[in-house]
Amino acid sequence: MEHAQEALFRPVRAGNAFEETVERLMQSIRLGVVAPGERLPSERELATRLGVSRVTVREAIRSLQENNYVESRRGRYGGTFVNAEIPKPAPGKEFGDIHDALTLRKVLETGAAETAAGRSLGPSERRGLRAHLEEASTASLAEYRRKDSRLHLAIAEATGSASLTAAVAESRMRANELLDSIPLLEPNLVHSNAQHERIITSILDGDPASARQAMAEHLDGTASLLRGFLV
Amino acid sequence: MEHAQEALFRPVRAGNAFEETVERLMQSIRLGVVAPGERLPSERELATRLGVSRVTVREAIRSLQENNYVESRRGRYGGTFVNAEIPKPAPGKEFGDIHDALTLRKVLETGAAETAAGRSLGPSERRGLRAHLEEASTASLAEYRRKDSRLHLAIAEATGSASLTAAVAESRMRANELLDSIPLLEPNLVHSNAQHERIITSILDGDPASARQAMAEHLDGTASLLRGFLV
DNA sequence: CTCCAAAGGTATGTCAGCGAGCCATTGGCC
DNA sequence: GGCCAATGGCTCGCTGACATACCTTTGGAG
Q: Is residue B226 part of a domain?
A: yes
Q: Which has the closest alpha carbon to A118: B5, B220, B218?
A: B220
> Which string of DSSP letters, residue by residue, matches A142-186?
HHHHHHHHHHHHHHHHTTT-HHHHHHHHHHHHHHHHHHTTS---H
A1 pLDDT above the threshold of 70: no
A68 pLDDT above the threshold of 70: yes
Q: Look at residue A76 in the predicted model and tell me its pLDDT.
A: 86
Instruction: Give me the CA B21–C1' C6 separation in Å, rounded.
Output: 39
Give the type of residue at B109.
E
**CATH number, domain with residue A45:** 1.10.10.10
Residues A129 and A39 in one domain: no
Mean pLDDT confidence for A132-143: 90
Mean pLDDT confidence for A180-201: 87
> CA-to-CA distance for A36 and A51, rounded, in angstroms?
25
Residues B166 and B210 in one domain: yes
Instruction: Give me the CA B56–C1' D8 separation in Å, rounded.
Output: 14
List pLDDT tens digits, range A71-108: 999 888 889 999 887 777 665 556 667 889 999 999 99
CB contact under 8 A, A169 and B101: no
| B15 contact to strand D (CB, 7 A limit) | no
A6 pLDDT above the threshold of 70: no
Find chain B residues with C-beta within 8 A of A8's C-beta: 24, 27-28, 31, 33, 166, 169
CB contact under 8 A, A51 and B13: yes
Q: Is residue A207 part of a domain?
A: yes
CB contact under 8 A, A107 and B164: yes
Residues A180 and A212 in one domain: yes
Residues B114 and B61 in one domain: no
With cut-offs at 50, 70 and 90, classify the pLDDT of residue A177.
Answer: confident
Q: What is the DSSP letter of A68?
A: T
Between chain A and chain B, the number of residue pairs with CB atoms below 8 A apart is 174
Residues B167 and B72 in one domain: no
The better pLDDT of the pair A231, B100 is held by B100
If contacts are CB pairs under 8 Å, which of residues 28-87 in chain B contact chain A? 28, 31, 33-34, 38, 41, 46, 49-52
| B73 contact to strand D (CB, 7 A limit) | yes
Count of Cβ atoms closer than 10 Å to residue B37 Cβ:
9
pLDDT per residue of chain B (231 residues) written in tens, 0 to 9: 345 555 666 776 777 889 889 988 988 888 777 888 889 999 999 998 888 999 999 999 999 998 899 999 998 888 999 998 777 766 555 666 788 999 999 999 999 999 999 999 999 899 999 999 999 999 988 888 889 999 999 999 999 898 999 899 889 988 888 887 777 777 788 999 999 999 999 999 999 999 999 999 999 988 888 876 665
> Which string of DSSP letters, residue by residue, matches B91-107?
----HHHHHHHHHHHHH
Q: Look at residue B94 in the predicted model and tell me its pLDDT.
A: 61
> CA-to-CA distance for A166 and A28, rounded, in angstroms?
12
Residues of the domain holding B40: 17-82
Q: Look at residue B55 in the predicted model and tell me its pLDDT.
A: 93
CB contact under 8 A, A4 and B154: yes
Q: Is residue B10 part of a domain?
A: no
Residues B57 and B130 in one domain: no
List pLDDT tens digits, range A11-65: 767 778 898 899 888 888 887 778 888 899 999 999 988 889 999 999 999 999 9
| B215 contact to strand D (CB, 7 A limit) | no
CA distance B89 to chain A (A): 19
Q: Look at residue B174 in the predicted model and tell me its pLDDT.
A: 87
Q: Please tell me if residue B24 touches chain A, with a CB cutoff of 8 Å.
A: yes
Q: Which of A17, A150, A159 sits opposite B103 (nearest CB)?
A: A159
Measured distance between the N- and C-terminal CA atoms of chain A, rounded to whole angstroms: 34
Find chain A residues with C-beta within 8 A of B111's C-beta: 106-108, 110-111
Q: Is residue A216 part of a domain?
A: yes
| B63 contact to strand D (CB, 7 A limit) | no
Residues B78 and B100 in one domain: no
Residues B118 and B68 in one domain: no
Find chain B residues with C-beta within 8 A of A17's C-beta: 12-13
Q: Which of B24, B162, B167 sits opposite A6 (nearest CB)?
A: B162
- Backbone φ and ψ for A52, nearest 5 degrees, come out as -125, 170
Residues A74 and A114 in one domain: no
Q: How many structural domains comprise chain A? A: 2
Mean pLDDT confidence for A170-175: 89
Residues B34 and B99 in one domain: no
Q: What is the pLDDT of chain A when averaged over all its residues?
A: 87
Q: Please tell me if residue B17 touches chain A, with a CB cutoff of 8 Å.
A: yes
Instruction: Give me the CA B19–C1' C5 separation in Å, rounded.
Output: 39
If contacts are CB pairs under 8 Å, which of residues 122-161 in chain A contact chain B? 128, 150, 153-154, 156-157, 159-161
Nucleotide D19: nearest residue by CA–C1'?
A53
CA distances from B17 to B51, B67, B70 (A): 9, 19, 20
Residues A101 and A69 in one domain: no
Residues B122 and B169 in one domain: yes
